Amino acid sequence: MEMGNLKHLREHGPVPTSDLPHEIRAPQRAEGLAVFKLKSGDGRTQSFGGPFRIAYLFDDHEPVEVVRVLFETESHLFGLDRRGLVKLFRGHGRQWSAAASTVLSEESPPNPDRNPGGWEAGETQDCPFCGGDVLKGALPSHLRTCPET
């Protein structure tokens, strides 16, 4: 029982603490189980929720793996102001802000050509009624003139 968490982390990599099979006990910490806890921020990052806790193995997992799992679990973090986010991680140590920068830069940089709806310019979708090509985001105005409605 005691070793269940460590085995889980060895097999699955870092996971949110809520996904661990057992409660964390002091002996596991001595065995190298660590928890990265991202605190709630202030100012621009205030509304992101949290705190978030990711369990990992101190000797086996790099900060970047831990941060990647955190972002995958809490994908709304990607929508936050990047500088504010990195600053938030920096409060936990340089290695964490560096890891956060790495994970954020793996995501595609913001595309200035994107319209406010978030679609690529020129991207189309099929009209569900007439099947015609309609620019994404333009479906509501198309439906007013669509021959099938």
Binding site for Zn ion (CB under 5 A): 127, 129-130, 132, 146
Instruction: Please report how close the Cβ of residue 114 comes to Zn ion at its closest, in angstroms.
Output: 24
Nearer to Zn ion, 80 or 139 (CB): 139
At 118, the amino acid letter reads G
Please tell me the distance from the alpha carbon of residue 52 to that of residue 70, in angstroms, as a whole number.
8
DSSP tag of 44 = G
Instruction: Please report how close the Cβ of residue 123 comes to Zn ion at its closest, in angstroms.
Output: 17
Instruction: Please report how close the Cβ of residue 134 comes to Zn ion at its closest, in angstroms.
Output: 7
Taken in order 90, 94, 96, 101, is the CA torsion positive or negative? Answer: positive
Nearer to Zn ion, 80 or 146 (CB): 146
Nearer to Zn ion, 58 or 129 (CB): 129
Nearer to Zn ion, 62 or 148 (CB): 148
Please tell me the distance from the alpha carbon of residue 93 to that of residue 24, in angstroms, as a whole number.
23
Reported as half-sphere exposure (CB side, CA atoms, 13 A), residue 11 has a value of 8
At 99, the amino acid letter reads A
Instruction: Please report how close the Cβ of residue 116 comes to Zn ion at its closest, in angstroms.
Output: 23
